[in-house]
Amino acid sequence: MNTQVRSGEEGSIPFRSSRFFCVGNKWYFTTREGFDSGPFASRDRAETGLQRFLHVVRLLPEEQQVH
């Protein structure tokens, strides 16, 4: 569980869990919106997949970005 305060947050720290999970020997990441992506061969590959996903989301016009 992540217990760090993020920039701009005030008050108590909400519950947070890892974006990464393993089923069998395959790794996945999940987004805040509940989208699961995978399988990946390793956690490192899942982390790379998440970084690529976030990069693509940042390229979208503001009205199309996932919030």
Position 67 pLDDT exceeds 80: no
Q: Which token pair is 4?
A: 């760090």
Does 11 map to a domain? no
Does 2 map to a domain? no
Does 3 map to a domain? no
Does 5 map to a domain? no
Dihedral class, residue 31 (left if φ above 0, else alpha if ψ from -120 to 50, else beta): beta
Structural domain range at position 37? 20-64
Instruction: Kindly report, residue by residue over 15-35, the tens digit of the pLDDT.
Output: 567 899 999 999 999 988 889
Please count the structural domains in the chain: 1
Cα separation, 52 vs 49, in Å, equals 5
- Could you count the other beta carbons within 10 Å of the beta carbon of residue 3? 7
Cβ proximity of 26 and 36 under 8 Å: no
Instruction: Kindly report, residue by residue over 47-66, the tens digit of the pLDDT.
Output: 999 999 999 988 988 776 66
Beta bridge partners, 36, equal 30
